[in-house]
Amino acid sequence: MEKLFHFDCPREIYTADACVISCFDARFEVAVRKFLKRRGIFLYDQIKIPGAGKSLAAPESEADRDFVLRMVRTSIRLHRPARALLVAHNDCGAYEGIAPEVVAADVLLAAQCLRAHEPSLAVECYFADFDGIYRIG
Ligand SMILES: [Zn+2]
């Protein structure tokens, strides 16, 4: 391997403040990061999937749901987060033409699914809009 960039990364294993499941849509990246910081969430395992909780609420195949649940379990095993945050967003490509209320309802379904499979996690539901982050429910 050829070194191309120098940066000192922390070597210590961390305890995550949360496991965050969000979409990979980069438009909401800064808002979500700042929101998490404001909520005291500095170190987190972020699972980025198009549609955020869609793969838990209404997966195209059961394998998708299992894959997401495995990622959450890996986060729990490695970094022991006590809470999980589901963050959907407006104008999501995974929900093309679907009203925000329907997307928000899916987030609640995803939270139910997550609580059923991982009862130790406190699950919180959020919706990122172009003017900020909203709590769902
Ligand atoms: Zn999206």
- Could you tell me the distance, in angstroms and rounded to a whole number, from the CA of residue 80 to the centre of ligand 1? 26
Which of 3.30.465.10, 3.40.1050.10, 3.90.1150.10, 3.30.360.10 would CATH assign to domain 18-135? Answer: 3.40.1050.10
User: Considering Cα of 110, then 111, then 115, then 116, what sign does the dihedral take?
Assistant: negative
Confidence tier at 51 by pLDDT (50, 70, 90):
very high
Q: What are the residues whose beta carbon lies below 5 Å from ligand 1 (ion)?
A: 23, 25, 92
Closest CA to 39 of 115, 101, 122, 96: 122
pLDDT of residue 137: 85
**Cα three-residue angle 52-27-109, rounded to 5 degrees:** 20
Tell me the average pLDDT across 38-59.
96
- Could you tell me the distance, in angstroms and rounded to a whole number, from the CA of residue 18 to the centre of ligand 1? 20
Span 58-100, pLDDT tens digits = 999 999 999 999 999 999 999 999 999 999 999 999 999 999 9
Confidence tier at 129 by pLDDT (50, 70, 90):
very high
- Could you tell me the distance, in angstroms and rounded to a whole number, from the CA of residue 97 to the centre of ligand 1? 12
- Could you tell me the distance, in angstroms and rounded to a whole number, from the CA of residue 3 to the centre of ligand 1? 34
Tell me the average pLDDT across 10-29.
98
Q: What is the mean pLDDT of the chain?
A: 97
- Could you tell me the distance, in angstroms and rounded to a whole number, from the CA of residue 106 to the centre of ligand 1? 13
Q: Please state, for a pLDDT cut of 90, what percent of the chain lies above it.
A: 99
Residue type, 91: D
> What is the domain partition of the chain in residue ranges?
18-135
- Could you tell me the distance, in angstroms and rounded to a whole number, from the CA of residue 112 to the centre of ligand 1? 20
- Could you tell me the distance, in angstroms and rounded to a whole number, from the CA of residue 22 to the centre of ligand 1? 8
